[in-house]
A = this chain, B = another copy of it.
Amino acid sequence: MTVIQGSSIGEAADATGLTEDALRYYEREGLVGPIARDAFGHRRYTEQDLAWIGIVTCLRDAGLGIADLRRFTTLLHADGEPTERATFLLRRRAELVRQRESLDAAITVLDGKIAYYGADGA
Contact = CB atoms under 8 A, between A and B. Distances in A.
Interface of A: 55, 58-59, 61-64, 76, 81-87, 89-90, 92-93, 96-97, 99-100, 102-107, 109-111, 113-114, 117-122
User: Chain A contact residues: over half helix, strand or loop, or mixed?
Assistant: helix
Instruction: Please provide the 10 A-B residue pairs with the shortest distance between their CB atoms, ordered closest to farther.
Output: A62-B106, A86-B121, A83-B121, A82-B121, A61-B102, A93-B110, A62-B103, A89-B114, A100-B103, A62-B102
A47 B109 CA distance: 18
A110 B82 contact: no
A92 to B, nearest CB: 6
Given A61-B106, A85-B121, A114 B93 contact: yes
